[in-house]
Structure 1
Amino acid sequence: MDSPPLGRMTPYGLEHWCMLTLIVVASVALVLWARRTPGERVDRALRISGWLLLGNSVFWTAWGFMPWAWNIDESLPLHYSDALRFVLPVAMITQARWAIVVAYYWGLTLNLQSVLTPDVNYFVWVPLEFFQYWIAHGAGIVVPVVLVWGLGYRPTWRGFAVAYVITLGWAVMAFTGNLLTGANYGYLNRAPAGPSILDLLGPWPQYLLVEALLIAAVWALVMTWPWVLRDRRYGTALDGKHGLVRRAHPPHEGPGRSAAVESQASSST
């Protein structure tokens, strides 16, 4: 697809502010709902929503390979957001602990950049591309917020380490894909053509190392350590056999959560 864009989303224009407001309102409302609703109902709603989100993710990935939408620089599912489209449904459907920690770290950092500073061009059908962008990136915020602050899942140091290793693994895969195709997913193989925040981190490939260190520092000091201190203080129990998360049960639940969901989730860690 070589045709010029049909248009572009204006950062901090009306549509952007509307989506930011919707994400905040939805996050707060769903956290309150999850904390006040019986666990079985929450789990069922998560599963149904997860299957719907998964179906949409399959559709949108396939759409990118259609002749009218194909673009070597965008259609391959090598962005972190492309992977997150599938990690989120797995976390919602199975509550697999590895998926929960990846959704938490990716959704609230890597994905957050796309929410706060969107760079979106429309090529085929503006309404579809607009809503697909915000379904993916909005869910990347709302879902981990609900899982952590609504359902009480807390990352551990082991969960942090597993999420970071998965992140590096995905970067290696995307880097290899870029080498084979000449694309530049994640700006892993060269700097962006125009000015960007990466300019503050130095030239390529220096900024890759700086990025990796910054991500590790933020994930460890801001997104993991406070939960670890809190959980030690309150004696929050490990949840799942691999110790990737602890779980502080919502007020309406005791430790005796739905056995079926617990068994399914533990087998998926």
Structure 2
Amino acid sequence: MNSPYLSYTLALEPFQLFSPSHLISLLLTVLLAFVLFICRRMLRKPSADVLARSLLAGVLALSELCFQLWHVWTNTWSIGEALPLQLCSVMLLLSMFMLLTGSYRLYEVTFFAGICGATQALLTPELFYPFPHFRFIHFFVAHAGIVLACLYMTWVRGYRPTFASVLKSMAVLNLLLLIALPVNHWTGANYLFVSRKPENPSLIDFLGPHPWYILSLEAVALVLFTLLYLPFRLRRRAAHPKRLDA
């Protein structure tokens, strides 16, 4: 693999946080979300809805497939690096099936863990490859796709989370933790970043040493999920002032 844009070994200047390419990628994600919001009524037509969900699910599936093929092509595929056990990898797969099936149960999980996890990844990527390397493009397409999938089901399909959805999402996170810890121990991997902190700057840097930052992450996740749910709670209470929702 001789191309510097496809090679596993970094042959370019490494990715820089908040570099022009990073900021442009963030801006494009925001613009796509804005376009989705503007077009939400048009996308509610059955034929448009099916087409849009299929296309977005296809983008997510293709991004994961290309990632796996890239590891195979560069002879770097390994259990410790390429399993879809990172939070956003799991959320990508769940988002894909959510779009294809219209599952509200998957929405309850992906809305919180997907949006919070992917947004954190977009803002502080664990990424070393700069634009226009394949991994840079894959990273931002995959993570932006997760956010857009959740927003699509909210704005177009009209799905709304409840506080029970917050608890379900936290339960799934802890289930993933129970899977990641033994896999990390056996393979030396760092899935979910629960064996050591990411090498690039991130929120985890402010949450204490290992392993105590895992507990801090639990608290941060619960707070973020609750804050993300709060607008729905307030809007529901405003619409039904005498009714207590779930």
Q: Indicate whether the TM-score tops 0.5.
A: yes
The structure, 1 or 2, with the larger RCO (C-alpha pairs under 8 Å, 6+ apart) is: 1
1:85 touches 1:136 (CA, 8 Å); kept in 2?
yes
CA shift in 2, pair 1:115/1:193, >3 Å: closer
Provide the rounded CA distance (Å) in 2 between the counterparts of 1:209 and 1:15.
Answer: 34
The corresponding residue for 2:110 is 103
Query: Structure 1 or 2: larger helix share?
Result: 2
Provide the residue aligned with 1:226 in structure 2: 231
Matches within 5 A, 1:117-196: 117-122=124-129, 127-192=133-198
- Per the TM alignment, residue 158 of structure 1 is displaced from its structure 2 partner at its CA by 1.9
| Residues 116/166 of structure 1: CA separation in 2 closer, same or farther (3 Å cut) | same
1:78 has 2:78 as partner: no
Decide whether the 8 Å contact of 1:47 with 1:94 is kept in 2: no
Q: Please report how far the alpha carbon of residue 196 of structure 1 lies from its aligned counterpart in structure 2 after TM superposition.
A: 5.0
1:60 equivalent in structure 2: 67
Q: Would you say the 8 A contact 2:119–2:147 is kept in 1? A: yes
**Following superposition, which runs of at least 4 residues in structure 1 exceed 4 angstroms of deviation?**
192-196
How far 1:49 moved relative to its partner?
2.8
In the alignment, what sits opposite 1:255? none
Query: 1:201·1:210 contact (CA, 8 Å) conserved in 2?
Result: yes
Structure 2 vs 1, CA of residues 197 and 34 (structure 1 numbering), >3 Å: closer, same or farther?
closer
Q: 1 CA distance for matches of 2:44 and 2:163?
A: 29
Give 1 or 2: higher strand fraction: 1
Gaps of 5+ in 1: 236-242, 245-269
Task: Give the Cα separation in 2 of the matches to 1:45 and 1:226.
Answer: 26
Contact between 1:35 and 1:150, CA under 8 Å: does it hold in 2?
A: yes
| Residue in structure 2 matched with residue 256 of structure 1 by the alignment | none
Query: Counterpart of 1:45?
Result: 52
Give the Å deviation of 1:87. Answer: 1.4
Return 5+ residue gaps in structure 2 as ranges: 1-7
Instruction: Tell me what 1:212 maps to.
Output: 218
Alpha carbons of structure 1 residues 155 and 207: separation in structure 2 relative to 1, 3 Å: same
- Alpha-carbon RMSD: 2.7
Provide Cα deviations, 1:10-49, integer angstroms capped at 9, x if missing partner.
2211211111111111101111112244431223321233
Q: What displacement does 1:114 show?
A: 1.2
| Distance in 2 between residues matched to 1:16 and 1:133, nearest whole Å | 11
Number of the residue aligned with 1:5: 10
Match of 1:94? 101
- Partners of 1:122 and 1:12 lie apart in 2 by 14
Aligned residues: 234
The one-letter code sitting in structure 2 at the alignment partner of 1:43 is V
Q: Does the Cα contact within 8 Å between 2:88 and 2:118 map onto a contact in 1? A: yes
How far off its partner does 1:4 sit?
Answer: 4.2
**1:267 — aligned with what?**
none
Counterpart CA distance in 2 for 1:196 and 1:113 is 8
Equivalent residue number for residue 38 of structure 2: 32
Task: Encode CA deviations 1:226-257: one digit per residue, 9 max, x unaligned.
Answer: 3123224325xxxxxxx99xxxxxxxxxxxxx
TM-score, normalisation: structure 2: 0.83
